[in-house]
Amino acid sequence: MTAAFDEMSAFGGGVREPYRALAEWLGGQRIETLQQKTSEAEALFRRSGITFAVYGADDTSERLIPFDILPRIISSSEWRRLEAGIEQRVRALNAFMFDIYHRQEILKAGRIPEELIIQNKAFVPEMIGVDPPRGIYSHIIGIDLVRTSENDFMVLEDNTRTPSGVSYMLENRETMLHLFPDLFSRNRVRPVENYPEKLRQTLESVAPANLDAEPTIALLTPGPYNSAYFEHSFLADQMGIELVEGPDLIVIDGELLMKTTQGLKRVDVLYRRIDDEFLDPLVFHPVSMLGVPGIFDVYRAGRVTIANAPGAGIADDKAIYSYIPAIIEFYTGRAPILANVETHNCRDPAALKYALANLEKLVVKEVHGSGGYGMLVGPAASAAEIEAFRAKLMANPSNYIAQPTLALSTCPTLVNSGVAPRHLDLRPFVLVGDEVRVVPGGLTRVALKQGSLVVNSSQGGGTKDTWVLQD
């Protein structure tokens, strides 16, 4: 693997311009003071209640995601290119979803194998012919990016179903403003604090047509045992909307209604944070207690907007990922601004052969996996782990994709021994409604273990505040 690009000092040279003010400030700080600030940050997070659960962990208690107090900084010119690439990507993804659930022109053109769609468990046949407001299927999108050099950002994966993490972006910024107001005075940092307002505007803009009043919005959560429940309640509170669970909703006379202390109230837009299969037991998983019986009929009739739409997962399925450049060209007529990571679909015999021969060099992921679960990081795996994974891959090749191990960029991070580089990625959040709104920043995840490339919080990673500088 090639040497990692350091975002503050490039490849051993002087301090890069976006980090100049931070480097000067850092040079005047004592490590003990920074460590004390880390303790203060942890106390603030505990007070806010921002925690998550790790599925399958022996310790089932809620945990704090470790927070690093040294920000990741992106210049205005770097961000403009990222923003253009992200907007191009989300417009193409929504066009792709509309096409897949309507005329399927991209399949007729032979740009994607038909069986990759029709036999995909993320494909929802019940959505065929359904016209969501403004033709938008995915309203809230997280695009996972990695940086490999001065000018190269690559898309690692798309999240078009129920992307999480935005509450950490907001709390990280609030914490940094509290701890380091002097550091903000040295840098002109674009705000992210208006995200809840922009999210509400986006949701209002995709409400069903011909409403006789302002649209009523609610956020549907699986409940307090979900790992992202803090985020669900946080966003509902910030937007000033109701947080509801399945039993709080009912379908009567073709309308979705929520139970309130003043009686039943119609819901026009439902921001759902539960998976497709649990949304309506009459259509999907019949024993689900998380969804609402009959909601899909209300949705198909155009009487409620569901964000993100059922079936939106077809656009972020990892088996589709390698076709995204072709998808972008098909629907925009232009080459992708942001590149994909080279990807081998193991369903293809040649790709499988290559993956099996190079497992020690590759990252192999489950097609429907998330959170860093069920994946192999070849360079960090033991011989026994590689052989065990080889057996799983051979047993079910179509369940996996393989990618090269990238030299993820690094950024100065506070560790026990002082300040040291650690690998990171970036998840910008995008809102798609009456317009495309790309939040100037996002969630930076950082691998806190030396040499580790795994940034997921469930696998020991932490987060940083992400600063996009103004001109």
CATH code for the domain of 353: 3.30.1490.270
The conformation of residue 138, written as its DSSP 8-state character, comes to -
**Residue 369: predicted pLDDT:** 67
**Is the bond into 308 cis (omega within 30 degrees of 0)?**
yes
Considering the domain boundaries, does residue 5 fall inside one? no
Specify whether 370 is located in the same domain as 449. no
Inside any domain, residue 248: no
Verify that 152 and 175 share a domain, yes or no: yes
pTM confidence score: 0.92
Both 353 and 384 in one domain: the answer is yes
314 and 354 part of one domain: no
Q: Do 57 and 96 belong to one domain?
A: yes
Q: Which of 353, 396, 359 is nearest to 376 (CA)?
A: 359
Nearest Cα residue to 467 out of 169, 222, 258, 29: 169
392 alpha carbon, distance to own chain's centre: 27
pLDDT band at 12 (very low <50, low <70, confident <90, very high): low
- Please check whether residues 331 and 361 belong to one and the same domain: no
Per the structure, the count of domains in the chain is 2
Pair 354, 333 in one domain = no
* Domain-located, residue 116: yes
Helix (H) or strand (E) holding 147: strand 140-147
388 and 419 both lie in a single domain: no
User: Looking at the DSSP assignment, which residues form a beta bridge with residue 424?
Assistant: 446
DSSP track, 411-454: EEEEETTEEEEEEEEEE-EEEESSSEEE-SS-EEEE--STT---
Do 334 and 351 share a domain, yes or no? no
Q: Considering only CA atoms, which of 71, 23, 64 is closest in space to residue 45?
A: 64
In this prediction, residue 337 carries a pLDDT of 97
Running DSSP on this structure, what letter comes out for residue 265?
A: E
In sequence order, the β-bridge partners of residue 454 are: none
Host domain of residue 36: 17-208+304-341+406-466
pLDDT at 367: 84
Position 1 confidence tier, pLDDT thresholds 50, 70, 90: low
Last residue of a domain, one of 389, 404, 419: 404
119 CA to centre of own chain: 25
- State the residue for tokens 């629907």: 331
Residues 77 and 137 in one domain: yes
Per-residue pLDDT, averaged over 338-365, amounts to: 93
| Average pLDDT rounded to a whole number, residues 319-331 | 95
Residue 94 phi/psi, 5-degree rounding, is -70, -35
Residues 78-114 pLDDT 10s? 999 999 999 999 999 999 999 999 999 999 999 999 9
Alpha carbon 318 to its chain centroid, in Å, reads: 14
* Count of other CB atoms within 10 angstroms of residue 86: 25
What is the pLDDT, as a whole number, of residue 118? 93
- How far apart CA 440 and CA 79 sit, in angstroms, is 8
Distance CA 103, CA 157 (A): 26
Confidence class for position 62, pLDDT limits 50, 70, 90: low
